[in-house]
Structure 1
Amino acid sequence: MFLQSLSLQYFKNYEKVEVSFCDHFNCLVGINGSGKTNVLDAIHYLSTTKSAFHALDAQSINHDGQYFVINGQFCLNDKESKVHCSLKKNSRKTFKVDDYEYEKLSEHVGKFPIVLIAPNDDELIRESNETRRKFFNSIISQYDQKYLHSLIKYNHHLKQRNALLKSMNESGRMDDVMIEAYNEPLIVLGQEIAKTRKSFIKEFLPHLQANYDRISDKREKVSVVYHTKVLDKNFAEQLAKGTQKDVITQRTNLGIHRDEYLFEIDDFLIKKYGSQGQQKSLLISLKLAQFEFIKSHLGQTPILLLDDIFDKLDDGRISQLMSIIGSNDFGQVFVTDAREERTRSLLQGKFEPMKIFQVSGNTIQELD
C-alpha cells in the first residue's frame, strides 16, 4: 500500500496544493514552520480520520478559509482508492472512500494504516497514563474493530454515568437504581476490553524487546507492565462501594479508563531511572513494534511517517533506524527535515526510489 497523490485546500497553512509521491522514500525539506509536518498530518487524517496534533478539527482550517478539504489517492492491493476528508466550520466532518460516505468514522480505522514517529512522542514516557492508554488503544483499534466498538460504547456509558454523578452531587439525592444500571455495562465492556489489552501486551512485548535490541545494541530487558482492577473478582463490589466518592468527585474513579501502562527497563521504571538515550531507544522501539504488529495483523504494510527525527536522535540511533527502515519490511516512508543537505547525505543513493520536495511559501515543489 502507498499514497500516490495528495491534494489540500485550506488545510492549515495551505490554501491549495497538489503533490504526487513515489512508493518508497519521500522527503519534505524546508525551514521550521514551513508546513512539512502539516503534510504528514493530512496523511494522518486520511488514515485515522483525525489529526495527530489537534484535538479539535476546526483548528486545521486555514485562517483565510471556511473549510478544509483533503483528498488522497492510494494504491492498495493493486487497486486505486480515493479517500476524501472535509470539514466546514460549524458542520459535521465528511469522510468518504471512493465516494462512499461512512455513517460512522470508526468504520474507516485500519483500512489505510500508518505509524507516526514525531518529536512529541516523549510524552508517552513523561505524561500521564492517559497518553499511554491512547497510544495502545490506537494500535489495537487499527486491527480489532470489536475492541474499537466496545471502547466507543464504554466511553458513551462512562459519560452518561459521570453526568448522573454530577446531577446527584448538585441535588444531594442518591439514585441507586440508575447507578446500578450504568455500572452493569461498564463492568461487562470493561472486562472485555481489559482482557483484550492483557493479551495484546503479551503478544506485543517480544516485538518491543527485539526492536530495542536492534536500536540500542544492548541486552537490557524492556517491558510494558499493564495494571487493571477491572479483572479483580470483586470489581463489581469495588465499583459499588466507590459510589459515594464518585459523587463527591463527580467522576467514575474505577474502570478501564484508569488502567495503567508502565514502561520498565531491567525491572525499573524508565521514567525515573532510564537515561535519555534509553528513553529515546524505547520510544523508537515502541513505534517499530507498533509497525510490525499492525502489519502482521492487517496483512498490510503501514505507511511510516518520520517527523523531524534527525534533530532529536544522535548519529548512532539515526544510523540504526535508517538501517532498519532500509530493509524489505518497510514500504512507503515520509521524512521531514529542516536541512536539505543532511537529508541528501543520509538518504540519497541508499533508498530508491526517492523524491525530495522543497516546502516553502505554502507550496510544495519537487527537487531534482
Structure 2
Amino acid sequence: MILKRLYILNFKNIADKEFSFSEKINCFVGNNGIGKTNSLDAIYHLGMTKSYFNTTTSYNIRLGEEFYLLEGTFLKENREENVVCSVKKGQKKVIKRNGKIYDKLSEHIGAFPVVIVSPADRDLIHEGSDTRRKFLDGMLSQVQSSAYLDALLRYNKVLSQRNSLLKQFYENQHTITDTLPIYDDQLDHYGTKIFQIRKDFIREFVPIFQEQYAHISKGKEKVDIQYDSQLNNQDLKNLLKVHFSQDISLQYTSQGIHKDDLIFSINGQPMKKFASQGQQKSFLIALKLAQFHYLYKATEVTPLLLLDDIFDKLDNERVSQIIHLVISPPFRQIFLSDTDSKRTEEIIREITPNYQIFKL
C-alpha cells in the first residue's frame, strides 16, 4: 500500500497544503514549528481516524477556523482508494472511504495500516501503564478486525457502569447485590477475551521485537517485554469477588485488564532506570519496527512507516542501521521529518534515488 496524494486544510498549524508523494521515501524538512510533524500526523489520522499526538478532536482545528479536512489517495492492491476525514466544531467526526460514510469510525481502523515512530514515544517508557496499554490496544485494533476493539469498548462501558454503582453504594449505602453480578459476568466475559488476545500477541511479538533491536544495536544489549496482568494468576470473576470490599472503599474497580501493563527491560534491568537515551530510543524504534512486521504479517498489507525526528540522540552507526533496515522489503513507502535538510538528503541519496524532499 502507498499514499499517492495528501491534502490538508486547517489542520493544526497547516492552513492549506497538498503533497504528491514518491513511492519510496518522502522527507519533510525545515525548522521546528512549521508543520513537519503535523504533516506526518495527518497521514496517521487518515489511517487511525485520530491524531497520534492530540486525541481531543477540536484541538486539531487550526486556530480561528471552524473545521479541518484531510484527504488521501491511496493505492492498495493496484486500486486507488480515497479517504476523507472532516470535522466541524460541535459536530461528530466524519470518515469517508470512496465516498461512503462509516457508521462507526472503528470500522475503518486496520484498512490502511500505519506505524509511527516519534519522540513522543518516550512516554511508553516514562509514563504510566495506561500509555503502554494504549499502544497495545492501538496495534491489536489494526490486526484483529473489529472484534478486539468491540470487546474493549464494551468492557470499558461496563467498567464505567460498575464504578458508578460502587460510588453510589459508598455514598448512599444502597444495596447493589442484584445488579453487580450482571456487571461482573460481563467484565469477566469481555476481559477474559481481551486478556487472551493480548497474551497470545505478546508471545508472538517479543521475538520479532528482539530481532529488530539486535539489528539496530548489533547485538550489544539484550531486551525483553513481559505482559503483566492480574489475570495471569487468577480468573477475573474470582478477582472481582475477592476484592469487592476493597472496591467499595476505593469507589472503583481495582481488578481487571484495565490494570494490565508491559514491562520493558534491558540486560535484565528496568529500561526506565538503566538504559541510556540512545538505548531507549533504539528500544522504541525496534518496538515500532516490530509493530510494522507484525501488522504486515497479520494483514498482508504493507503499512505506511512514519519516522518523526529519528536522527536525534542516535549515533551515526545506529542511524545507518535503521535506514538500511527500513529500505528493504517488506518496507515500502516511508515518510520522515528532520530539521537538517542537508543531513537528510545526504543519508537518503546514498541509499536510493527514489525520494522526495519537501521543504516546509
TM-score normalised to structure 1 length? 0.94
Look up the match of 1:68. Answer: 68
Task: Return the offset for 1:200.
Answer: 0.7
Where do 1:345-356 residues align within 5 Å? 345-356=346-357
Matched position secondary structure for 1:334: strand
- 2: distance between equivalents of 1:183 and 1:42? 40
- 1: distance between equivalents of 2:221 and 2:30? 38
Look up the match of 2:20. Answer: 20
Structure 2 residue identity aligned to 1:42: A
Verify the 8 A CA contact 1:119 1:308 in the aligned structure 2: yes
Rate the CA distance shift 1:238–1:75 in 2: closer, same or farther, 3 A: same
Look up the match of 2:59. Answer: 59
Look up the match of 1:363. Answer: none
- 1: distance between equivalents of 2:318 and 2:39? 25
Look up the match of 2:300. Answer: 299
Verify the 8 A CA contact 1:5 1:73 in the aligned structure 2: yes
In structure 1, the gaps of 5 or more residues are 360-368
Look up the match of 1:366. Answer: none
1:272 aligns with 2:267: no
Bigger mean CA deviation after superposition, 294-303 or 221-230? 221-230
Look up the match of 2:83. Answer: 83
Bigger mean CA deviation after superposition, 131-140 or 277-286? 277-286
Rate the CA distance shift 1:241–1:174 in 2: closer, same or farther, 3 A: farther
- 2: distance between equivalents of 1:127 and 1:341? 34
Where do 1:23-42 residues align within 5 Å? 23-42=23-42
Task: Return the offset for 1:222.
Answer: 1.8
In structure 2, the gaps of 5 or more residues are none
Matched position secondary structure for 1:7: strand
Look up the match of 1:134. Answer: 134
Matched position secondary structure for 1:346: helix
Look up the match of 1:335. Answer: 336
Look up the match of 1:238. Answer: 239
Verify the 8 A CA contact 2:278 2:313 in the aligned structure 1: no
Verify the 8 A CA contact 2:113 2:301 in the aligned structure 1: yes
* Percent identity of paired positions between Structure 1 and Structure 2: 40
Task: Return the offset for 1:349.
Answer: 4.4
Bigger mean CA deviation after superposition, 102-111 or 12-21? 12-21
- 1: distance between equivalents of 2:281 and 2:13? 30
Matched position secondary structure for 1:312: coil
Q: Deviations over 1:107-165 (max 9, x none)?
A: 11111011100011111111111111111111111110221211111111111112222
Matched position secondary structure for 2:26: strand
Q: Deviations over 1:8-57 (max 9, x none)?
A: 11111122222211111111111100011111111111000000000201
Where do 1:256-267 residues align within 5 Å? 256-267=257-268
Task: Return the offset for 1:68.
Answer: 0.6
Structure 1 residue identity aligned to 2:354: P
Structure 2 residue identity aligned to 1:151: L
Matched position secondary structure for 1:230: helix
Structure 2 residue identity aligned to 1:163: S
Matched position secondary structure for 1:31: coil
1:165 aligns with 2:128: no
Task: Return the offset for 1:233.
Answer: 4.1
Structure 2 residue identity aligned to 1:258: K
- 2: distance between equivalents of 1:357 and 1:237? 57
Matched position secondary structure for 2:163: helix
Look up the match of 2:324. Answer: 323
Matched position secondary structure for 1:26: strand
Structure 2 residue identity aligned to 1:78: N
TM-score normalised to structure 2 length? 0.96
- 2: distance between equivalents of 1:352 and 1:177? 68
- 1: distance between equivalents of 2:168 and 2:55? 27
Where do 1:64-213 residues align within 5 Å? 64-145=64-145, 146-213=147-214
Structure 2 residue identity aligned to 1:236: K
- 1: distance between equivalents of 2:39 and 2:235? 49
Verify the 8 A CA contact 2:192 2:236 in the aligned structure 1: no
Task: Return the offset for 1:313.
Answer: 2.0
Task: Return the offset for 1:221.
Answer: 3.0
Task: Return the offset for 1:219.
Answer: 5.2
Verify the 8 A CA contact 1:25 1:352 in the aligned structure 2: no
Please report the RMSD computed on the Cα atoms of aligned residues, expressed in angstroms.
1.4
Structure 2 residue identity aligned to 1:264: S
Rate the CA distance shift 1:97–1:311 in 2: closer, same or farther, 3 A: same
Matched position secondary structure for 1:96: strand
Structure 1 residue identity aligned to 2:40: L
Q: What is the number of residues matched between the two proteins?
A: 359
- 2: distance between equivalents of 1:54 and 1:207? 29
